[in-house]
Amino acid sequence: MKNLDTLTFDNRFARLGDAFSTEVLPEPIEQPRLVVASEAAMALLDLNPAEAQRPEFAELFAGHKLWEEAEPRAMVYSGHQFGGYTPRLGDGRGLLLGEVVNQSGEHWDLHLKGAGMTPYSRMGDGRAVLRSSIREFLASEHLHALGIPSSRALCVTGSGTPVWREKQESAAMVMRLAQSHVRFGHFEYFYYTRQHEHLKTLGEHVMACHFPHCLEQDEPWLALLREVIERTAAMIAHWQAYGFCHGVMNTDNMSILGITFDYGPYAFLDDFDANHICNHSDDTGRYSFSNQVPIAHWNLAALAQAMTPFASVDKLREALDLFLPLYQAHYLDLMRKRLGFTSAEDEDEALIQRLLQLMQAGKSTDYTLFFRRLGEQAPAEALKVVREDFVDLAGFDAWGQDYLARYALEGGEQSERQARMHAINPRYILRNYLAQQAIEAAEGGDYGPVRELHSVLSRPFDEQPDMQRYAERPPEWGKHLEISCSS
């Protein structure tokens, strides 16, 4: 294990030069104090968990102090935001402090969000507030625990520094970890500004650092796109299978690694509604739950466009055609497992779609609890329990008979079925009202609730007898919280 003084840095992105990022020092916040830390994320850096108790922990991860080897840089990129192209975005409140190499040889970006103004702040103050920092921390670590590809969060640091949004709030910082913070928008920036040599350098950097096998192919850029398509398809399949809504799927929020990235007004579905819009600012529903699959495809096409100087348009289009079949295969595999199936049958897709249509008809079925309860008892008994949440009872009964017939093909003991289903169907999910309660306590100076919530969500599939309140259906007010991009 390492301590704060023995981390090893290798700042590969910084070495690309000033065309790719700008040197900026973080602006310290007043009296930094640790709100919550993730031991699992600390382990990625080989950090001893006890290091979080040191005063230097909050100071370093809030930018008050810097390691000698750190090279804080604000990255430049562009992106399509709600369908319109913005020529220059960049890290407006974030800084890539450097890349830490762990004992396994993995590089992890230390990316500090809320670090102050940069050349890319675009009239903003470069700050993040406590509520958004807590939300990003909780989501990053919870999605990882669910098995959904995600960036990670090491800690949240609070302060007494005031910032103004709709009202006065307190500034905070979240330390984000990822093996790369390169986005689709990085490629778009160099493509649309016709800096094709820099675009080539960026692509070669990404391939050398993250996809070295692509460099061995006859057409490396085409291989790179296929890799990103495969990873993005798997990520989106997980989102749809678990009811996760990202809220702002701009191309600058899409990771080249195919991980969930840049958390803003996200939400997990409570009662199932395929048309749910979690972002209060999304007036047209562009990023609604049901639109996440076509929008991911659209974003991949935007990335492919930026690759046209180095690959043929026809072959890039052929690669894009892989997305939907790949997504569908991943999604069906996940949903079969959620229903307790271990094999694949031709009628499975129709069975899944009928279930979702029945959920949609009533908008009264808790999406997370349905699957957990379906595995609690033998199938026939479990169907009687979950039936209560459906409006079309005749339709559900017909579906239930078909489910029993399908499950008869599986066989096996109920104990095996329950263990299998409980391993993929979480008991605990990050609901907006739970996050809001933890945020309100933290804003009052009590960090206990956010730490407890993080602990519970770090083991989402496990029975935690003393934490039953976190597994209950949300109150009605909790289903209608409005979350916007403001942070």
**pLDDT tens for each residue of 292-331:** 999 999 999 999 999 999 999 999 999 999 999 999 999 9
The model's confidence at residue 49, banded by pLDDT at 50, 70 and 90, is: very high
pLDDT at 485: 57
48 is in an annotated binding site: no
Phi, psi of 25 (to 5 degrees): -90, 145
- Whether 273 is a known active-site residue: answer no
d(C-alpha 4, C-alpha 210), whole Å: 26
pTM for this predicted structure: 0.97
Yes or no: say if 334 and 412 are a contact pair by the CB < 8 Å rule: no
451 is in an annotated binding site: no
The full length of the chain comes to 487
262 is in an annotated binding site: yes
| Whole-number Cα distances in Å, 360 to 98, 199, 274, 363, 484 | 46, 44, 7, 5, 25
pLDDT at 486: 54
183 is in an annotated binding site: yes
**pLDDT tens for each residue of 394-415:** 999 999 999 999 999 988 899 9
125 is in an annotated binding site: yes
In the predicted model, is pLDDT for residue 479 greater than 90?
no
Name the catalytic one among 46, 91, 252, 282: 252
Helix-helix angle 220-242:196-210, to 10 degrees: 60
In the predicted model, is pLDDT for residue 289 greater than 70?
yes
**pLDDT tens for each residue of 10-20:** 999 999 999 99
176 is in an annotated binding site: yes
